[in-house]
Amino acid sequence: MIRTLVYLAIILFGMIIAPVLTQNKGYVLIALAGYQIEMSAIALFVVAIIFYSLLQLFEWALVALINALANTRKLPSKFLQKQSKEHLQKAIEAILINNNSDAIEHFAKGAKASKNPQNFYLLACKYAINENMIDKAQKWFTMAADINQDQDLLKLVEIELLIAQQQYSQAKQKLDNIPLNKNTPQQFIQVANKLAELSNDISLKQELTSLSSHHKLFKSTAINDSQIDVHLEELANKPAKDNQELNKRYGELNRKIRSNAKIQALYHAQWSKFDSNQALLSLIKLIKKSPESALLDCLKENWQWEDDQQIEQLFIKLKKSVIVLQCQVELLLKSRLYKQAKACAQQLIQLHPISQHYKLLADIQLQLGEQQGAIENYRLAVQQ
Helix axes 276-289, 261-271, angle to 10 degrees: 160
CB contact at 8 A, 266 and 229? no
> Which position has the higher pLDDT, 362 or 12?
362
The pLDDT, as a whole number, for residue 214 is 47
Q: What is the pLDDT of residues 223-246, one digit of tens each?
A: 455 566 666 666 666 777 888 888
Residue 354 scores a pLDDT above 80:
yes
- Count of domains forming the chain: 2
Statement to judge: residues 342 and 383 lie in one domain: yes
Statement to judge: residues 331 and 277 lie in one domain: no
Q: Is residue 355 part of a domain?
A: yes
Q: Is 17 exposed, middle or buried (0-12, 13-18, 19+ CB in 10 A)?
A: exposed
CA 299, CA 318: separation in Å to the nearest integer? 14
pTM given for the model: 0.47
- In the structure, what pLDDT confidence band is assigned to residue 251 with cuts at 50, 70 and 90? confident
In whole numbers, what is the pLDDT of the chain averaged over residues? 76
Cα 258 vs. chain centroid, distance in angstroms?
26
Region 63-70 average pLDDT: 73
- Main-chain dihedrals φ then ψ at residue 115, nearest 5 degrees: -70, -25
Q: What is the pLDDT of residues 67-82, one digit of tens each?
A: 766 665 544 555 456 6
Statement to judge: residues 332 and 380 lie in one domain: yes
3-state secondary structure of 40: coil
Q: Is residue 187 part of a domain?
A: no
Q: Which residues pair with 28 in a beta bridge?
A: 39
Q: What is the pLDDT of residues 76-115, one digit of tens each?
A: 555 456 676 776 677 777 767 777 777 777 777 777 666 6
Cα 345 vs. chain centroid, distance in angstroms?
44
Residue 384 domain boundaries: 319-384
Q: Is residue 294 part of a domain?
A: yes
3-state secondary structure of 320: coil
Output the CA–CA distances (angstroms, integers) from residue 85 to 74, 89, 93, 113, in the order listed. 17, 6, 12, 9
CB contact at 8 A, 310 and 281? yes
3-state secondary structure of 294: helix
Hey, which bits of the chain come out as E strands? 28-32, 35-39
CA 79, CA 112: separation in Å to the nearest integer? 12
* CATH number of the CATH domain containing 360: 1.25.40.10
Q: What is the pLDDT of residues 48-59, one digit of tens each?
A: 778 778 888 888
Region 155-172 average pLDDT: 78
**Which residue, 89, 72, 78, is CA-closest to 115?**
78
The pLDDT, as a whole number, for residue 229 is 64
The pLDDT, as a whole number, for residue 10 is 67
The one-letter amino acid at 12: L
Residue 329 scores a pLDDT above 80:
yes
CB contact at 8 A, 152 and 191? no
Residue 380 scores a pLDDT above 70:
yes
Buried b / exposed e along 77-108 (16+ C-beta atoms within 10 A) = eeeeeeebeebbebbeebbeeeebeebbbbbb
CA 178, CA 12: separation in Å to the nearest integer? 81
Q: Is residue 324 part of a domain?
A: yes
The per-residue DSSP string of 179-204 comes to --STTS-HHHHHHHHHHHHHHT-HHH
Output the CA–CA distances (angstroms, integers) from residue 363 to 56, 265, 373, in the order listed. 108, 29, 10
Q: What is the sign, positive or negative, of the torsion defined by CA atoms of 368, 373, 375, 381?
A: negative
CB contact at 8 A, 299 and 272? no
Q: Is residue 118 part of a domain?
A: no
Q: Is residue 250 part of a domain?
A: yes
Q: Is residue 370 part of a domain?
A: yes
Statement to judge: residues 292 and 325 lie in one domain: no
Q: Is residue 271 part of a domain?
A: yes
